[in-house]
Structures are given as C-alpha cells and as structure tokens.
Homo-oligomer: A and B are copies of this chain.
Amino acid sequence: MADSSLSLAPALERIRAEIDVLLGELLTVPQDPRAQLYEAMRHAAIGGGKRLRPLLVVAACGLFHTARERALRVGAAVECVHVYSLIHDDLPAMDDDDLRRGKPTVHKAYDEATAILAGDSLHALAFEILADEKTHEDPFVRAELVGELARAAGPAGMAGGQMMDLAAAEADLDLSAVTRLQQLKTGALIGFCLEAGAIMGRVPIEGRTRLRGYARDVGLAFQIADDLLDEEGEEEKIGKKVGKDRARGKETFVSLLGRERARRQAELLVEQAVFYLQSYGAEADLLRAIARFAVERDH
C-alpha cells in the first residue's frame, strides 16, 4: 500500500519558491509610469500564501506524468486568479481588510485605484499564461484550460460565489445555501486545479469523475477548516484578521453545525476524498497528503 503519511512541508516549501521565481519573471517591473502597477502585483502575488492551489495542480498533473515546469505555469495562472480575487475582496467596498498574508493589503500599501488595476492585471495575466505554448504544445489543451479557468473564475464560479457571500450578510442561510455558496466561491477554483491535471494529461471527460469527487470534498473540507480557523486560529499565523464572520453575523459551517460537528464533517470529507484516489498508487500520495493538510493546518 502507498505511504500516505507523507509530510507536506517540503512540498509546500518547494512550490512556494518555484511559484515566486516564475511570477517574478513574469512580473518584471518596467521603467515607465506603470512601475507602481507591477510593484502592486508583485506585492500581492510574490512571497506569501500557502500556494495550495498550485500544489494541487502539480499533484494532479503528477498523476499523468506532466512535466513539472508546465504544471507550474498552470499553477501560477490559478494563483494569479486567486490573488486577484483576494485583492478585490479586500477592498473597502467589499470586505474592507487591512491585512493579508501578513502584509498590508494592496489598497493599504498603495491605493484603491492601484488595487483595482493590479487585480484586473493579474486576472488577464492568468489567461495570457495559459494561452502560451510554453504551457502545453497542444492548442486544444490550452484552449480547454482557458475555458475551464474562465468558467471557474466568472459568475458561474468564484465571482458568483463572492456575490452570494455579499448577499449572505443580509440573509439567514441554511447549510445547503452555505454549501452552494462555498462550492462557487472557493470550490470552483479548487475544482479547476484538479481538472487542469486531467486536461494536461489528456484524460477524456468520462475519466475525470474521481478527480472531481476529490476536488469537491477537499474544497469543502478546506472551507470548513477555514471557518474553524476564523473562530479559533491565531491572527499572526493566518496573516489576516480572525473572527470576522461572527462579527458580521454571517452564517458559516461552524455557526450552523457547531465546532465539534464541523470538525467531524471536515474529517469525513477528507476520508471520502482520499477514498476517491484508491485506484491510484504512490503517484497520488501528494493529493492524499494535501487532503489531510486541508483540515490539519493551523494557517
């Protein structure tokens, strides 16, 4: 049987360094009045974050023997979308946060206009990366990656989930509504990470069911863990303000289930996610370790 007790720390450390190098190359600061825009993009995108999404892409690509430098490009594209969404979500008109990944948010370090444009620029960069033949020699693969990421990021995915989240402050959501909200807000992009592995590996649609099951369960487990951290975690470790959801009267998995049931639910989801991988051998160990990390982390 494959060893599934793999520690994730070295894998996370490695990918953090790799993504920083890649984004550093892609975001060379020009010597013209756009310099501040690029600096703001670098401030938000480089040197912070768990890089969980790029790691998921690399892990999924690992199942199908995709070259690591290609998987990293797709991981960087997902991270660009994730970071753009954080920049925009942190704006005063949205969640109004001052701290992100242990640093001032972009509108605090620069200004709101720069933050809006830095988010928009990272959003465009994500698709520029995917469309480049360095990402995959087969244009069919590149076009499919673009289509899936656009769907996952747009109104039927992440942006739609964020809209539901804004509306949620004024509504009493039940468990199924919160689940649906989170499946869009964070689940869609996590789903893309796994789908990207299958696309890069040219796995036909009908062969992707297990990976989609894994993505759905890990995505929800990850969100429940986030809700628990928002209640119990340490601001210093997480790098952002905690206790926000409760203060705003927003329903979360924890407010609806209580801490104990929420924790058990997250653990059940992780078991289920790992179960989806049972036909894979050691090549899926990284995905198994990520599933466990999703609920065991303290940040």
In the bound assembly, the distance between CA atoms of A236 and B210 in angstroms comes to 57
Query: In this assembly, does A120 line the interface, its C-beta being within 8 Å of a C-beta of chain B?
Result: yes
Does A289 sit within 8 A of B, measured CB to CB? no
A33-B171, A34-B163, A163-B117 are known contacts. Are A131 and B150 too (CB-CB below 8 A)?
yes
Q: What B residues does A126 contact at CB under 8 A?
A: 150
Q: Which of A66-74, A137-145, A263-271 lies at the interface? A: A137-145
A125 to B154, CA, bound (A): 6
Interface size class of A (residues with CB under 8 A): 35 or more
Contact A150 B124 (CB under 8 A): yes
A150 in complex: contacting residue of B84, B127, B147, B164, CB < 8 Å: B127
Residues B111 and A131 in contact, CB atoms below 8 Å apart: no
Taken residue by residue from 10 to 53, chain A's Cβ proximity to chain B (1 for < 8 Å, 0 otherwise) reads as 00000000000000000000001110111001000000000000
Judge whether A247 is part of the interface by a CB distance below 8 angstroms.
no
When C-beta atoms are compared, the residue in chain B nearest to A111 turns out to be: B93
Question: Does A218 sit at the interface, judged by CB under 8 A?
Answer: no
Question: Which residues on B sit within 8 Å (CB–CB) of A153?
Answer: 120, 124
Per a CB cutoff under 8 Å, which of B120, B139, B159 touches A143?
Answer: B139
Give the contacts of A64-104 with B (CB-CB under 8 A).
84-85, 88, 91, 93-94
Identical chains bound together, number: 2
Given A93-B111, A140-B139, A171-B33, is A147 in contact with B128 using a C-beta cutoff of 8 Å?
yes
A168 CA to B140 CA, complexed, in Å = 42
A121, CB-defined interface residue at 8 Å:
yes
Q: Looking across the interface, which residue of chain B has its beta carbon closest to that of A160? A: B34
Residues on A close to B: CB < 8 A?
A: 32-34, 36-38, 41, 84-85, 88, 91, 93-94, 107, 111-114, 116-117, 119-121, 123-128, 130-133, 138-140, 142-144, 146-147, 149-151, 153-155, 159-160, 162-164, 166-168, 171, 180-181
A/B interface sample: 20 pairs, CB < 8 A: A33-B163, A33-B164, A36-B163, A36-B167, A37-B160, A37-B163, A41-B155, A93-B113, A94-B113, A120-B123, A123-B124, A124-B153, A125-B155, A128-B147, A128-B154, A131-B143, A131-B144, A138-B139, A143-B143, A146-B146
19 additional contacts (CB under 8 A) given A124-B150, A124-B159, A142-B143: A32-B164, A33-B168, A34-B164, A37-B160, A84-B120, A85-B120, A93-B107, A116-B116, A117-B159, A117-B166, A120-B123, A120-B153, A124-B153, A127-B146, A127-B147, A128-B154, A130-B146, A131-B143, A139-B139
